[in-house]
Amino acid sequence: MNLIYTNCLFLFILLLNLPVFGQNNAVYPDQFGAYFNNMYLVSPAYVPADTKMDLNFAYKTRTGALNKISTFNFAATRVLNYTKPNNHVIRLYFYNEKDGPYIHRTRAYANYAYKIKLGEDLFLSSGLAIGFAQTGFTAPSSTANGNSMAPDAAIGLSVNFKKIEAGIAVNQLLNSIVNPVAAPVKYERYYNSYIQYTFKLSPFINLKSGMLWRYLPTYSDDINVFGMLEYRDVFSMGSCYKYNKSLSFIVSAKLHVGKESILLSFIYNTPFFSKLPAWTDSVELNGNYSFY
């Protein structure tokens, strides 16, 4: 009998120390390892430099048994008066997360940004994105199914001075609530602040670096730091570290043809230097087409 009590006590203590993964009713969008390839997801005030038109896509998927958890994003950006100091930006972007085969979260936005020149090499841009956020459950017919949609919006402000860019944005501005089946899901407001700087190491090599802080009211904040070595704006490699969550390795190649360019990036997100299990790794593919 004493042996049974001892084993039960040991099992209870063991369970107290096991990591538990829970779900809060607040929802924040998944973040790409190479977030700086999709800065419009960080701030609606983002304006691409010296570009007339941009097409972007990004796809992220977990590996192994979790390969049905994925994130997809596509954006089309048009910069008006791109050769002048003051620019207008019109952007449409779509974003979808799949939490396995039955749960998906879809978003779509129309984005407008305006960039003005304040002084020599000093620019200020502001932006607004308006759209919708949807959560859907498509389980087998024997269980509940449902979709629920709500309006969503974001605002942002950015400053550019020479090779430095910094900004702040308020995302999921409306604190919208959807109710796809029974329990409500809240798109809780959160805040992004970032800074980026490009160092010129030689006539052919640059070091692009930056940091992003995502303030998440109901979760631990995301703090990201990245560094990328660029050779002749053709090849780049580096990494991005998300504090206590992941370490990403990034390789990019850029092809220039006349006034056009195509960028492809491969990213491997690992749980190195984090408290997450080894099976939380994922891979990404980013693509960009630019017309100058």
| CA–CA dist 129, 151 (Å, integer) | 11
Check residue 221 and give its pLDDT.
95
Res 200: pLDDT: 94
248 to each of 225, 239, 241, 245, how far by Cα in Å?
A: 10, 5, 6, 10
The share of the chain scoring above pLDDT 70, in percent, equals 88
Average pLDDT over residues 95-124: 93
What is the pLDDT at residue 21? 37
What's the CA gap between 260 and 12, in Å, rounded? 62
Is CATH 2.40.160.40 the classification given to domain 27-291?
yes
Q: Break the chain into its structural domains and give their ranges.
A: 27-291
- pLDDT single digits (tens) 149-206: 999 999 999 999 999 999 999 999 999 999 887 678 899 999 999 999 999 999 999 9
Give me the mean pLDDT over the 217-246 stretch: 95
Burial group, residue 287, by CB count within 10 angstroms (0-12, 13-18, 19+): middle
Q: Using the predicted structure, report yes or no on whether residue 26 has a pLDDT greater than 60.
A: yes
Structure tokens at 67: 């390969």
DSSP tag of 221: P
| pTM for the full predicted model | 0.86
